[in-house]
Structure 1
């Protein structure tokens, strides 16, 4: 089981994986950094422990580490315990959730492998906001989407804020990166998928008429500002819109995604 180690000195090198998370140039989950996956809070840490990501260590106040005793019973990793003040000095801010865990990244999933084992997919272009990305993964998990394909301009789903906003579901919904955008959408068509581009433009087919619950379907979602590029829409099989009241021209991408994912489920 995880072995508890008391940390009394904020400069203790054993907790360096958790150090200075508030500084943009030191966060280990940033691209170009050490590439660690960081989970915050008991629920998200539990989901990290149940995921394929190899856990390195936990760090928290005694009460939160004790709450995770059952989840860590099979782990041979350190569980560092400190008081709230020492933990805040290490992390760089006061952590209300009281516990963190860090893990190495799992091997990358090949897009073809993900497509081959899926029937409902989300495909993202230019989703750069970490909170929106995390919310999209949470919605995908809740509404039965089998996986997420990341096209050009997307942020890292394993960035700490994305993991937190997703409530750890980014750790259970498989994702893969498309290297050639939007040319790699051909991969979906070659495997029998219908590709639907979600856009508010008036000539798009209303969502209720798009039959997204029929057969293998991938829904394209674009960036928070301009939405999908014309190239992405042109590469899709059809353009689909969510009808809205007069005076409202768009929805937050995570909200639009949830509506589309529900339509895909057929429930």
Structure 2
């Protein structure tokens, strides 16, 4: 065996600094960024992170999940680092006392946070050019961020851009809800927002999902000449859960688009709305 297995017996082991006091969201977010790490929870998410080339600082799991991960750990870690990445093994009760919550599928990894690309670098790296990107403006709920990434992966978005104040896609809950698709979909954080000039320079039409007097229905929008052209590129902008998109964003958008609603409902949750909009626009640029 090339990987190093270490049995844990106490929750105050100094080697577990990355994992302790994880129940305070603000503290946890600050520490993750400061230490240059993020948390990958569950065997499936850890596997996706490893397959995406992300490097773990350490892993922690209950013994019964080791058989699922051991072959992959040998493949991704054993030869690469000579077994230098520690894998901590402990009963599930001890793991919960360390982290402060019940581990989903009994495994957690402290992963090295990759350096984000500049927006222009990311967009230029996508081969012949992206057709659709999803922009998340100032979302505060990590669950919604993760769900939006999952929709982006499932419905073929080329990339996701998040605004400076948007919740961290690599926060533990975002990663878990996304089922690891945050490692699959290219993404980065915008340095400034709105970024109309930068996106227009890359050939994108900006469409904001919002309720306004000058909005067009999604059905009408996808039939417009700007969207049916073979070289069409679309940036779909989704707003925060409470107030929606900022007025400054709407002022710089090319189109304001609404999803036709029934049953007396005026709007959808932002994650659900992103899925609907991505599905409806799936043929753009193809």
TM-score (norm 1): 0.92
Give the equivalent residue in structure 2 for 1:232. 249
SS in 2 for 1:197: strand
CA deviation after TM superposition for structure 1 residue 246, in Å: 4.9
2:176 matched residue in structure 1 = 164
Q: Which has the higher helix share?
A: 2
Structure 2 contact 152–185 (Cα < 8 Å) conserved: yes
Aligned counterpart for 1:93 among listed residues 98, 101, 105: 101
Compared CA separation, residues 66 and 201, structure 1 to 2 (3 A)? same
- How many equivalent residue pairs? 266
Distance 1:110 1:52, change over 3 A: farther
Instruction: Find the residue that maps to 1:37 and give its secondary structure.
Output: strand
Aligned to 1:17: 18
Where does the alignment leave 5 or more consecutive residues of structure 2 unmatched? Answer: 78-82
Query: What displacement does 1:28 show?
Result: 6.0
Residue 199 of structure 2 is aligned to residue 188 of structure 1: yes
Q: Does the C-alpha gap of structure 1 residues 252 and 29 become closer, same or farther in structure 2, counting only changes over 3 Å?
A: same
Contact in 1 for aligned 2:32/2:38 (Cα 8 Å): no
**Is 1:198 paired with 2:225?**
no
Which range moved further: 248-257 or 205-214?
205-214
Distance 1:145 1:99 in 2: 29
Q: Matches of 1:25 and 1:123 in 2, distance apart?
A: 23
CA offsets 1:233-260 (integer angstroms, 9 cap, x no match): 1211111110001521111000000011
- Which piece of structure 1 moves more, 29-38 or 88-97? 29-38
| Residue equivalent to 2:80 | none
Report the alpha carbon displacement of residue 25 of structure 1 after superposing the two structures with TM: 5.9
* Contact 1:121–1:145, Cα closer than 8 Å, also in 2: yes
Whole-angstrom distance in 1 between the partners of 2:204 and 2:157 = 14
Q: Hey, what's the Cα distance between the residues in 2 that align with 1:161 and 1:245?
A: 31
Matched-pair contact (CA < 8 Å) for 1:42–1:64: yes
**Shift of residue 14 of structure 1?**
2.1
Alignment of 1:133-144 (within 5 A): 133-144=145-156
Query: What does residue 136 of structure 2 align with?
Result: 124
1:4 correspondence with 2:16: no
> Structure 1, unaligned stretches of length 5 or more?
none
**By how many angstroms is 1:64 displaced?**
0.8
Q: Does 1:154 align with 2:171?
A: no
Q: In structure 2, how many angstroms separate the alpha carbons of the residues matched to 1:236 and 1:52?
A: 36
Within-5 A mapping of 1:33-72: 33-72=34-73
Q: Deviations over 1:127-173 (max 9, x none)?
A: 11111111101110111111111124311111111111111111221
Q: What SS does the corresponding residue of 1:17 show, helix, strand or coil? A: coil
> For residues 24 and 164 of structure 2, what CA distance do their matches in structure 1 show?
26
* Partner of residue 262, structure 2: 245
Is the 1:122–1:149 contact (alpha carbons within 8 Å) kept by the matching residues of 2? yes
Distance 1:20 1:65, change over 3 A: farther
Distance 2:25 2:152 in 1: 28
Superposed CA RMSD in Å reads 2.0
**What TM-score do the two structures reach when normalised by structure 2?**
0.86
